[in-house]
Structure 1
Amino acid sequence: MSGPQRIVCLTEEPTEVLYSLGEQHRIVGISGFTVRPAAARKEKPKVSAFTSAKIGEILKLRPDFVVGFSDIQADIAAELIRHGIEVWISNHRSVDGIVDYVRRLGALVGAADKANAYADGLRRGLDAIEREARNLPQRPKVYFEEWDDPLITGIQWVAELIRIAGGDDAFPELSGEPLAKNRILADQGEVVRRAPDIVFGSWCGKRFRPEKVAARAGWDAIPAVRDGELHEIKSPIILQPGPAALTDGVREMARIVRTWADRTG
């Protein structure tokens, strides 16, 4: 059998990818934030959060490959590298990047053919959703809120998935900013001025509270608030740059957008 045999996944998306490829036997440790697939939480030891990790526990697992995501995990990666562990930190932020990530991870673990087939399937699913969205009578303006205090708008892959689902992101100029701090809205009134038709809330790690959004000063003038179009998109299916966002996440957004279009069209 080729490729690494003892993999630690510091975030959820490599775990989901490897399970989807039937390569879960290679995984020896996962992130404590992993919820997909459900089997992983039962079968694999949890050795990391997002910004921290149990280095000693990881070393006990004798990994031959560790997979993480983004600059936020740079310190974890550096410490593991100093212990002689091979580490791959991906930094993809777009839909194309997620699809390519599946291909690259598969190649790195010796499962390139399966990964390419899986990635092709993800792309076909997205293309089908986008084709269906072209038939909508009109496209809603969508405000995606990643956090509520301070207000943080959606990252690039979220904005792209909104477009695929049939909507138009209310803050396209911010979506390209990879760091959350650069997507903070200093003025809540800007959301009012942009008048979104739909609000998607995905407050990472806590439940979205539409009644709190509706109670914000001046927000009763927003079409989405007026019409009750305040919807939660669960963070595990949209804020992880992996298969969940390209399947369950975008499908949920497309369902809500289609319902809105049927009602208003």
Structure 2
Amino acid sequence: MSGSRITKAHGGLRQPNRREMTAALALSALGLGGLALPAALPGAALAQTPDRIVVAGGVITEVIYALGLQDRIVGVDSTSQFPAEALKQKANVGYVRALSAEGVLSLKPSLIMAIDGAGPPDAVSLLTESGVKIARIHDGLTPDGVTSKIAAIGAAIGAAAPAERLAAQTKARFDELATLRSGIAKKKRVLFLLSLQNGRAMVGGRNSSADGIITLAGGINVADAIEGYKPMTDEAIAAAAPDMVLMMRNSSAHNTTPDELFTMPAFSQTPAATGKRLVHMDGLYLLGFGPRTPMAARDLMAAIYPEAAIPPLKTAAAP
């Protein structure tokens, strides 16, 4: 069996075991076909600099592009939607939580960068066992978490100094955002609605990215009794009394309209229904928690508090 291909058992052939699969995938990644590596050189084939990076996590892609080092990327996952050319110019390795180890390794990466939650676990395990260097990036959802994330990405690709500058610029924007937030006299209540499945609302609770961005924008997350992204009952939604409902904008499918949403029993009696306060925002911009997050939080703040005439961030214009 060639090292660049793994086949299922057929007829009298034996199904390869996990160790054999890992070895075959690693050989494929190094372009060595069925050749065996000398035992004395276990790390010799690993690149000394990460010049062939495969990314699993849209925010990682965004940061690398912001650093001007996109030429090092050979593959991205399907959440890498900013900038738009990333998915057009780079190989697509699939959804961040449903990666194929063989697909990733076929790009012969010298570094795999994976955000929290990248998976599935079996694929990550195979990638780890392949011998290719993996940088796991923590997906922080606070200003400090974002700046630490940017610094960690830069350090992993040998660009620590420019990444520190980008992190400092991002921190300045968060600081200006905090000043705007401090001027909010009375906070409004916001419900993040991830989806409506058969009439059931899937919402963003505490410790979710939705909760993080609502907090940064000076709002109150009405679903904080729920952990993460989970369904919320009609009764709970009505009792939560959101002043505004927030959803991600879907560029390829139907977006729920205010008329559709506020005729549903769960939403019809909420304060948000009075003015049909439904806001759509781009998903990665809203929930990516990268360099653009201070601007996204400012835009959300302006949507939550239209009467306050929230100004643009002055630091957003900085080079």
Aligned ranges for residues 1-265 of structure 1 at < 5 Å? 3-73=49-119, 74-95=121-142, 96-149=144-197, 150-154=200-204, 155-174=207-226, 177-178=227-228, 180=229, 183-185=230-232, 187-202=233-248, 207-209=254-256, 210-244=258-292, 246-261=293-308
Q: Distance in 1 between matches of 2:299 and 2:109?
A: 36
Question: Which region of structure 1 is more displaced relative to structure 2, 119-128 or 81-90?
Answer: 81-90
Q: Distance in 2 between matches of 1:91 and 1:76?
A: 19
Instruction: Tell me which structure has the larger Cα radius of gyration.
Output: 2
Shift of residue 118 of structure 1? 0.8
Unaligned stretches of 5+ in structure 2? 1-46, 310-319
Unaligned stretches of 5+ in structure 1? none
TM, length-normalised to structure 1:
0.85
Q: Distance in 1 between matches of 2:182 and 2:275?
A: 23
Shift of residue 36 of structure 1? 0.2
Q: Distance in 2 between matches of 1:226 and 1:143?
A: 15
Match of 2:11 in 1: none
Aligned CA distance change for structure 1 residues 240 and 207 (closer, same or farther; 3 Å): farther
Shift of residue 220 of structure 1? 1.8
Q: Distance in 1 between matches of 2:184 and 2:79?
A: 36
Is residue 147–residue 203 contact of structure 1 (8 Å, CA) maintained in 2? Answer: no
Q: Distance in 1 between matches of 2:286 and 2:49?
A: 29
Is residue 103–residue 119 contact of structure 1 (8 Å, CA) maintained in 2? Answer: yes
Shift of residue 228 of structure 1? 1.6
Higher share of residues assigned helix: 1
Is residue 219–residue 304 contact of structure 2 (8 Å, CA) maintained in 1? Answer: yes
Shift of residue 143 of structure 1? 1.0
Secondary structure of the 1:231 match is strand
Q: Distance in 2 between matches of 1:160 and 1:260?
A: 23
Q: Distance in 1 between matches of 2:240 and 2:147?
A: 31
Is residue 137–residue 261 contact of structure 1 (8 Å, CA) maintained in 2? Answer: no
Is residue 65–residue 85 contact of structure 1 (8 Å, CA) maintained in 2? Answer: yes
Q: Deviations over 1:200-224 (max 9, x none)?
A: 1127785541333212115221111
Match for 1:164: what amino acid? L
Match for 1:92: what amino acid? D
Match for 1:103: what amino acid? A
Is residue 138–residue 149 contact of structure 2 (8 Å, CA) maintained in 1? Answer: no
Q: Distance in 1 between matches of 2:113 and 2:165?
A: 21
Is residue 195–residue 222 contact of structure 1 (8 Å, CA) maintained in 2? Answer: yes
Question: Which region of structure 1 is more displaced relative to structure 2, 14-23 or 33-42?
Answer: 33-42
RMSD: 2.4
Q: Distance in 1 between matches of 2:185 and 2:289?
A: 30
Shift of residue 164 of structure 1? 2.4
